[in-house]
């Protein structure tokens, strides 16, 4: 089964499309990845405007994620794309994100909007005990202090550097139930959102 390592974002702003494609890449073999999936993801994301009207510099909206989930299901029904998706937001996620955990236990992947100093999208690919296997698409080179300083003992976050097909962080699943802004926790500047994805 040929798969491709998960990818990092190219700019400061494209965590949304990168996280969505990483979820698909985790679930599908490379030969199953459709070029039209890449095309539609790149066409509809990076749709938020920054203060002053700068396009794309606020990243990707929940509305774009909702559209991508709907498009994925349509493509599955009409073309046989072997993916299905479910968009959730706000109270539908539930405290503790039980539906997120259920998806992971079923072998699915989750695109989650979380907090990392600002709204940020990551891909969750599984569970290891009570730890979430998280792929954070924001690349930090070994030795850079800025984004790794908080991954200290007791933080609930571990940096992983030997699992490029699945995750680069292990995060305490209890952070999904934290009702305040903390790294990789659910509360965001905007409404918390997720796309749950499975093989169809």
151 CA to centre of own chain: 19
- Burial of 13 from C-beta contacts in 10 A (0-12 / 13-18 / 19+): middle
Is the pLDDT at 65 greater than 90, yes or no? yes
What's the CA gap between 200 and 186, in Å, rounded?
27
């699943």: which residue's tokens? Answer: 173
- Main-chain dihedrals φ then ψ at residue 92, nearest 5 degrees: -65, -25
Contact between 54 and 173 (Cβ < 8 Å): no
> Which pLDDT tens digit goes with each residue over 145-189?
655 555 666 678 888 989 999 999 999 998 877 767 777 876 556
Provide mean pLDDT across the span 66-77. Answer: 96
Is the pLDDT at 57 greater than 60, yes or no? no
Q: Taking the model in full, what pTM does it have?
A: 0.90
Selected from 3.40.50.2300, 3.90.70.10, 3.50.50.60, 3.40.225.10, the CATH number assigned to the domain covering 15-199 reads: 3.90.70.10
Task: Name the band, by pLDDT with cuts 50, 70 and 90, for residue 1.
Answer: low
Provide mean pLDDT across the span 12-24. Answer: 95
A 10 A CB-CB count for 109 gives 28
Task: Name the band, by pLDDT with cuts 50, 70 and 90, for residue 95.
Answer: low
Nearest in space to 70 (alpha carbons), one of 40, 48, 113: 40
Provide mean pLDDT across the span 34-49. Answer: 88
Q: What is the pLDDT of residue 58?
A: 65
Q: How far is CA 49 from CA 58, 77, 80, 188, 189, in A?
A: 6, 33, 34, 17, 15
The chain-wide mean pLDDT, for the chain, equals 86
Q: Is 38 left (phi over 0), alpha (psi -120 to 50) or beta?
A: alpha
Q: What percent of the chain has pLDDT over 70?
A: 84
DSSP 138: S
């990243």: which residue's tokens? Answer: 59
Contact between 134 and 175 (Cβ < 8 Å): no
Task: State the alpha helices, DSSP H only, in the chain.
Answer: 15-27, 35-44, 62-79, 98-105
């Amino acid at each position: 089964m040929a798969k491709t390592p998960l990818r990092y974002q190219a700019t400061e702003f494209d965590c949304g499309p990168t996280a969505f494609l990483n979820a698909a890449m985790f679930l599908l073999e490379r030969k199953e990845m459709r070029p039209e999936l890449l095309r539609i993801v790149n066409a509809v994301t990076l749709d938020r405007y920054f203060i002053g009207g700068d396009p794309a510099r606020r990243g990707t909206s929940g509305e774009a994620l909702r559209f991508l989930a709907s498009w994925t299901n349509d493509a599955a029904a009409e073309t046989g794309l072997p993916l299905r998706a479910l968009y959730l937001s706000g109270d539908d996620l539930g405290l503790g994100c039980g539906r997120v955990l259920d998806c992971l236990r079923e072998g699915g992947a989750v695109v989650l909007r979380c907090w990392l100093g600002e709204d940020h999208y990551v891909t969750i690919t599984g569970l290891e005990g009570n730890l979430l296997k998280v792929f954070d698409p924001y690349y930090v080179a070994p030795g850079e202090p800025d984004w790794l300083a908080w991954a200290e003992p007791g933080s609930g976050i571990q940096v992983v550097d030997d699992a490029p097909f699945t995750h680069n962080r292990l995060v305490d699943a209890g952070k999904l139930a934290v009702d305040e802004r903390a790294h990789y926790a659910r509360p965001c500047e905007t409404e918390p959102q997720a796309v749950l994805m499975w093989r169809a």
